[in-house]
Chains A and B, each alone.
Chain A
Amino acid sequence: MATIHDIDTEGRPPALEARSLSVFYGSKQAVKEVDLVVPAHKVVALIGPSGCGKSTLLRCFNRMNDLVGSARVEGRVDFHGKNLYDDDVDPVEVRRRIGMVFQKPNPFPKSIYDNVAFGPRVNGFKGDLDGLVQDSLRQAALWDEIHDRLGDSAYALSGGQQQRLCIARTLAVKPEIVLMDEPASALDPIATQRIEELIYELKKDYTIVIVTHNMQQAARISDYTAFLYMGALIEYGPTDMIFTNPSEERTEAYVTGRFG
């Protein structure tokens, strides 16, 4: 049984709520009956050793696992009172409203501008596209660095800039939740710091769920931390509690590096 500490949603409905969520890859169960409430406008970090199911769990939150042939999801993920896995839910719409940023920056082989404009265009955006691109780049803290070369190839940017471009691209379709799968693991410390500052800024407007291998990063940027081990949620609670005085021995062993 997992230890779930008080999760204060501050009177707002939670942004996401997973209930008895399980994921199977063939016969192997990668996520085991996880219950997790993600409060709105907070940063929730998923931590745990490699293979603990944290990335799989993250991918459940915008139905990315649909794209993995052998994956089967049981249980539910409620978003605005609706189970994301109901038959009448359009996964494309889910992924627009719940965006994702990946470990390695993956810009399209297009200009900086077109990368950001891509999503809105695909969605038939009819408004001020220039304004939207600019806003998104500003929110991703990239505008000041690249505003005079929007026509350049996205590949001309540094790794850290590319990752912020990918964040801008995600933000351009106005999601409510941004999922991040180790967004800074391929970046140098300075670029990592910028991403972390950005995440802090973004929670004003978005809810963020982040998977990270870097415990210090989870401690620095998240409000709540969930520790997963072998597919099970072991402990979930306020980040300061998880890192200063966790209740579960396995959490303690993991965060103090005594694991194994």
Chain B
Amino acid sequence: MNMDGTPKRHFHEELDGLQELLLTMAGRVEQAVARALEAVAVADATVAADLRAGDGEIDEMESLIDERVQELLALHQPMASDLRLIITVLKVANDVERVGDHAVNIARAVRRMRKSSPPPELRELQEMGDVAREMLSDSLAAFVARDPGSAMRVHATDDTVDSLRKSLFRIMVTYMLEDPRNIGSGLEVLLISQNIERIADLATNIAEDVVFLVKGREGIRDMKNWADHDADGGEDEGG
């Protein structure tokens, strides 16, 4: 034990290193998302290959985080905020890694879309992408700042993305009904919107993790209660 004047310096340095690694990884993933959404905007089919290559590196970082977390848990038996931080890093790393996968999926859909007739200009898709991207960067900023308040705002924004996706769904159904030749690109657009929606969901998870990190389990309970009050109705309608 090292409580009488000797803080666990070594352990806390490693903990700082772990966070840095996560933020580096998250930075790469944010870039990947930005590039994927840009590819959507300008119909750039070449981005997919780049992102696929970069995704391997992101996966490696996640494995490294897993390993370090295991080590820290086994060797130091962390408590209280240290314990919550380690759990949070593990969960956020997992979510961030999946965001990376969705970025790759989006870029691939863009590549496939090139072969069919191009879809109409889609304001909703762009807006969804912008909102999801902002949610991701806000949730990560909330993690860095340990700010449950902005984490809660990310949580609330998720509804915007959901309703954008729903209206996009209706638009695309109409578009595909107009001409069966639109079905190929129409489905790709829906696929992209689904991936964007998942990114927004994962950003929401990260925001929840930040609330847990700062306030513990009770914070999560409070947030869920608050969200339930806030968003009654608005059930899923398929897609």
Contacts and interface: CB of A to CB of B under 8 A. Distances in A.
B80 A256 contact: yes
A257 B3 contact: yes
B209 to A, nearest CB: 14
Interface in B5-37: 5-8, 11-12
B2 interface: yes
Contact of B8 (A50, A243, A258): A258
Given A219-B79, A244-B216, A246-B80, A257 B7 contact: yes
B98 interface: no
Contacts of A50: 4
A213 B3 CA distance: 10
Interface in A162-177: none
A245 B12 contact: no
Contacts of B12: 258
A201 to B, nearest CB: 24
A255 B80 contact: yes
A254 to B, nearest CB: 6
Contacts of B81: 245, 252, 256
B16 to A, nearest CB: 13
Contacts of A9: none
A245 B216 contact: yes
A241 B80 CA distance: 8
Interface string A225-260: 000000000000000010111100001101111111
Given A219-B79, A245-B80, A245-B84, A257 B4 contact: no
A243 B80 contact: yes
Nearest to B76: A257
Contacts of A257: 2-3, 7-8, 11, 79, 82
Contacts of A251: 80
Nearest to A251: B80
Contacts of B181: none
Interface of B: 1-8, 11-12, 77-84, 215-218
30 contacts: A49-B4, A50-B4, A243-B79, A243-B83, A244-B79, A244-B80, A244-B84, A244-B216, A245-B80, A245-B215, A245-B217, A245-B218, A251-B80, A252-B81, A254-B3, A255-B79, A255-B80, A256-B8, A256-B78, A256-B79, A257-B7, A257-B11, A257-B82, A258-B8, A258-B12, A259-B4, A259-B7, A260-B3, A260-B5, A260-B7
Given A245-B218, A252-B80, 19 more contacts: A214-B1, A219-B79, A241-B216, A243-B79, A245-B81, A245-B215, A245-B216, A246-B80, A254-B3, A255-B80, A256-B78, A256-B79, A257-B8, A257-B82, A258-B8, A259-B4, A259-B5, A259-B7, A260-B7
